[in-house]
Amino acid sequence: MIMSCNFYKNEDGYMALVSTIIVSILLTGLTATLATTGYWARFDILNLQYKTHSYWLAQSCNNLLLIALANNREYAVNEPIHINGDTCTASTITHNPDSTIDLTSTGIIQGSSSTITVKANTADLSLISQKEVP
């Protein structure tokens, strides 16, 4: 006696399986997108911190230049200035005919740089103005 096997051939679950796979792929893509967005946001915050650090480094460099000028009016920029393990560069000290001094220094931290120019009174080295050079 030969037995015949008739398999049950119903394709009702096929649509459910395909729908589940498509929804899973979409949710995985959404999760990956949100994860990379958070990842890049962290780097934006880190770059902002580096920019702020470089700004204050350049500001400190200008303050040290003012102190050096208070000690020696003929001070000339000839070396990098080291502040707490960081290095800034004092690029120019210009004595102007209108009794002012222009100081320019640059601080660089992890590729983020800030350049600040300060104008000071020659007589007492009081600050007249300061600005960040783009």
Q: Is residue 126 part of a domain?
A: yes
Domain range for 76: 15-133
* Residue ranges in 4-129 assigned as alpha helix (H): 12-71
Q: How confident is the model at residue 90 (pLDDT cuts 50, 70, 90)?
A: confident
Q: Is residue 2 part of a domain?
A: no
Encode pLDDT of 35-85 as tens digits: 888 888 888 888 999 999 999 999 999 998 888 888 888 888 777 888 888
Distances (CA, A) of 84 to 31, 60, 63, 92, 106: 42, 11, 14, 22, 16
| Stretch 125-134: mean pLDDT | 88
Q: Is residue 5 part of a domain?
A: no
pLDDT, position 6: 57
Q: What's the number of domains the chain is made of?
A: 1
Encode pLDDT of 109-128 as tens digits: 988 899 999 999 888 888 88
Cα dihedral: 113, 134, 82, 129 (round 10): -150
